[in-house]
Amino acid sequence: MASGNEKVVSLLSSFQEIIRKIFFFSKAHWRKILRYAIIVTISVISFLIGGSYVVWLSKKDKVVSNLDKFKNEVTNYYEVSQIRPIRILDRNGKLIGEFSRRKFKPIRTDNLAEHGNIIWALLSSEDREFYNHHGI
């Protein structure tokens, strides 16, 4: 009956023999292996690019509309049809009120200096006792 150490040694020697066979096979046929590796790599990359293109075609309209919406928000241009009102509902689903930005005039960053009062309004609305207490 073989002891545990003999089993481990036998297992390691068989593993070493397998690695040696793989090494000698790959050394003898390295050009063929390289050729197949290149073919498989090119095939996988082509499949990924083709799949990405198919997904892009199916989602193109949505992506373009999202990009246009983002561009409008960044350039401070708001179209009335894009703005949806905020609806306030009670617990039964009955409409209590709506808040809309239809009369909203955005403050553009290039004329922000003309609206210096906004900064003071923000500061005055903050907690006046912020530095005097440890929280709520």
Over the stretch 46-72, which tens digit does the pLDDT of each residue have? 999 999 999 989 999 998 888 888 887
The string of DSSP codes covering 18-74 is: HHHHHHHHHHHTHHHHHHHHHHHHHHHHHHHHHHHHHHHHHHHHHHHHHHHHHHHHH
Do 70 and 94 belong together in one domain?
no
Number of structural domains (the chain) is 2
- 39 shares a domain with 86: no
Task: Based on the fold, state whether residues 34 and 18 are members of the same structural domain.
Answer: yes
Q: Is 134 helix (H, G, I), strand (E, B) or coil?
A: coil
Note whether residue 134 is domain-resident. no
pLDDT at 130: 64
Residues 115 and 52 occupy one common structural domain: no
Predicted local distance difference test score (pLDDT) of residue 40: 96
Q: Are residues 40 and 99 in the same domain?
A: no
Q: Are residues 66 and 104 both part of a single domain?
A: no
For 51, the domain range is 1-75
Same domain, 1 and 57: yes
Low-confidence ranges of the chain (pLDDT < 70): 1-2, 76-83, 101-116, 119-120, 122-131, 135-136
Q: Tell whether 15 and 71 lie within a shared domain.
A: yes
pLDDT at position 109 is 64
In this structure, is residue 133 part of a structural domain? no
Examine the domain organization and report whether 84 and 65 are in the same domain: no
Distance of CA 84 to the CA centre of its chain: 26
